């Protein structure tokens, strides 16, 4: 899952995949603004077949938070 997530994040942030870890801060380290964060959430929803509310998307701090929300919301 982390590899696919890195690919998606790289589409929205100007970083190398190997620079993305669970501790990477979405706003500070990836320099994503609110609109980019919402677009990233939509891309994650599409890739992992789940729903992330705008409220949850805006509360994401780290890539680890994204992984957690994917695991919690993934449809079976």
For the annotated catalytic residues, the residue numbers are 33
Tell me if residue 52 falls in helix, strand or coil: coil
What is the rounded distance in angstroms from the CA atom of residue 30 to the CA atom of residue 43?
Answer: 16
Q: Which residues of 8-24 are buried (b: 16+ CB within 10 A; e: fewer)?
A: bbeebbeeeeeebeeeb
């Amino acid at each position: 899952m982390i590899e696919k997530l890195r690919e998606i994040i790289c589409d929205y942030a100007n970083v190398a995949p190997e620079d993305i870890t669970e501790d990477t801060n979405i706003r500070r380290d990836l320099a994503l603004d609110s609109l980019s964060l919402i677009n990233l959430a939509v891309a994650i929803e599409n890739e992992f077949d789940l729903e992330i509310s705008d409220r949850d998307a805006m509360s994401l701090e780290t890539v680890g938070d994204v992984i957690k929300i994917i695991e919690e919301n993934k449809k079976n």
